[in-house]
Amino acid sequence: MVVGLGLSSAEKSYIAGGIAVDLRGDGRGRHHFRDFSIDTSIIPQANGSARLRLGGTDVIASVKAELCAPPPGRPHHGKLEINVECSPTAAPEFEGRGGEELSMDLSRALQRSFLGGASGAGAAIDLASLVVLEGKLCWMLYFDGLVLSSDGNLLDALSIAMKAALSNCGLPKVEITSGTNPEDDADFELNEEEFTPVDTSRFPVIVTLTKVGKHYIVDATAEEESQMTAAVSVAVNKKGSICGLTKRGGTGLDPSVLLDMISVAKRVSQTLITSIDAEISAAESRHDDQ
């Protein structure tokens, strides 16, 4: 997922050499995440929104809620839709259809991590909590991700931004005025004064491990990503369960290596989730102060 980055073979061997001795170009160790900052409520028109800056990577996530009919065959569930756009403001190469492939890759990886199984089990949000009137009315949450600028690790950044946007999200209270009978259509009114937050405790965070040579690193920069032989993105939730896994890159991985990468991802995710929660509360209280 690298745009137009050409490095000399000398630079490449320097980067790989650094990773091998656990000293990357900016001084980080292999399992060290860059510092990041979160701002919430940046798109007031959305139900929830957040901006995440991770080094030179800058992404925005927004959550928009709409009422609709529940998915076919699952009257007790709400719906989620996830979409990512790469804006040309991030790189001229993204103009027109240039960013399409990357956008689709990112969207699919996020969908895989957040939508759960076909039955709806294991989704990032308890889909049953999104039901308003069983069989007739539920919430559809649209997650939109936007890449403003990229210095690597877009997937992890987007997952953090979306978690923050969801924490910032409030669903208006729905008052059913008629139609509680199974045959009738539901009529409702939205109470835009009362909002209920959404439970984010199940929302996973994605940790991508990028393999360079024999070693794998966490939170790769664009330069480091250009060196990757393979990358495994693991979505882990607060409980430590894996919610989704995606592999990129043509090189084959030995199963033991894959298992090791998963355990590293799990370990890193736990400290990461704690930092994210802290940053989100700080962002929300900053917003309340204003």
User: Which C-beta is closer to other proteins: that of 258 or that of 282?
Assistant: 282
CA distance 35 to 192: 36
Backbone angles phi, psi at 8, to 5 degrees: -75, 160
CB of 91 to other proteins, least distance (A): 8
CA distance 39 to 137: 32
Residue selected from 1, 59, 60, 115 as contacting other proteins according to rule CB under 8 A: 60
Q: Which of residues 248-287 bind other proteins (CB under 8 A)?
A: 282
Relative to beta strand 79-86, strand 137-149 is parallel
With contacts defined by CB under 8 A, name the span among 9-17, 120-128, 189-197, 228-236 that binds other proteins.
9-17
With contacts defined by CB under 8 A, name the span among 1-9, 116-124, 195-203, 262-270 that binds other proteins.
1-9
Size of the site for other proteins (CB under 8 A): 52
Residue selected from 37, 119, 177, 263 as contacting other proteins according to rule CB under 8 A: 37
Evaluate whether 112 touches 191 at the Cβ level (below 8 Å): no
State the CB neighbour count (10 A cutoff) for residue 109: 25
User: Which C-beta is closer to other proteins: that of 25 or that of 240?
Assistant: 25
CA distance 175 to 181: 15
Q: Which of residues 146-165 bind other proteins (CB under 8 A)?
A: 146, 148-149, 151
Evaluate whether 51 touches 39 at the Cβ level (below 8 Å): yes
Of 211, 106, 117, nearest to 159 by C-alpha is 106
CB of 102 to other proteins, least distance (A): 15
Q: Angle at the Cα of 249 (from 263 to 55), degrees rounded to 5?
A: 70
User: Which C-beta is closer to other proteins: that of 82 or that of 243?
Assistant: 82
Report CA 58 to chain centroid distance, whole Å. Answer: 13
Judged by the rule CB under 8 A, the positions of this chain that interact with other proteins are 6-11, 13-14, 17-18, 21, 23, 25-29, 32, 34-35, 37, 42-46, 49, 53, 55-56, 58, 60, 62, 64, 66, 83, 85, 87-92, 95-96, 142, 144, 146, 148-149, 151, 282
